Amino acid sequence: MHAVETWKPSVARMYDYFLGGKDHYAADRDAAEKVLVIEPETRVIAMQNRAFLRRVVRYLAREEGIRQFLDIGTGIPTMENVHDVAQRVAPESRVVYVDNEDNVLAHARALLVGHRDAGPCAYVDADLRDPEAVLAGAASMLDFSHPVAVLLFAILHFIPDEDDPWGVTVRLMQAVPAGSYLAVSHAMSADLSAEQRAGLDEVYAATNAGGVTQRPIDGIARFFDGLELVEPGLTNISDWRPEPGQDPHPTRRLFHGGVGRKG
């Protein structure tokens, strides 16, 4: 494992900062504050994305009977991780977390050691751009002859068009059987001015991700090609099966998401 680059902003640590966590450095905080100046709702959006993750995992475990979860680009472990939600519904649920950032993996290993009461879960050091490595690592925990939920929350917008994120997603879904699911949340270009998009591009270009690609709705919809979208379809993440008492419109159209089923 390489030394953690504390001098370069990390998108995982910036996300932790947006969520009110404590696992970040000065460079991460400075970059995150620049993002908040450009788009003040970023912190709310991050919290809504975590809430979306919880609702999706709960739905898949409780209503669809999914017992295997592959969470790629998991970020720094925080409260209510995928295994917390899934194993509350079904303790036998298997969860594999995938990330390629040393800082994330260090926290992940500490979580595994410190939470012996957690059910079956594992961490894989791999990059989403290399789906074969992701699948090979996940095979130690997951049985790909049974349905798997592939979770891509707030990660695909860090893969530029030239790296073909759609092809990567297709390869992942080819590896799982019928009855599997794909869940995606993604930054949208709608409701952002050209000046805001340029400002965000500049901030994220200096991070370990090397940039961010906010896509239009049709670009996000392409990730679900060949899959059957679960109601209510591809929508603002806060509108996807909101819980009772939840404000369904706390943000503008800056993050969309959905869940698709492989037939």
Cα separation of 138 and 203, whole Å? Answer: 32
Peptide bond into 232 cis (omega under 30): yes
Q: Which amino acid is at 157?
A: H
pLDDT of residue 250: 53
pTM: 0.93
| Structural domains in the chain plus CATH codes | 11-261 (3.40.50.150)
Asked whether the predicted pLDDT for residue 246 surpasses 90, the reply is no
Summarize pLDDT for 146-169 with one digit per residue, the tens.
Answer: 999 999 999 999 999 999 999 999
pLDDT of residue 1: 47
pLDDT confidence bin for 68, thresholds 50/70/90: very high
Summarize pLDDT for 90-121 with one digit per residue, the tens.
Answer: 999 999 999 988 777 777 667 665 555 667 88
Q: What percent of the chain has pLDDT over 90?
A: 75
Summarize pLDDT for 17-45 with one digit per residue, the tens.
Answer: 999 988 899 999 999 999 999 999 899 89
Asked whether the predicted pLDDT for residue 244 surpasses 90, the reply is no
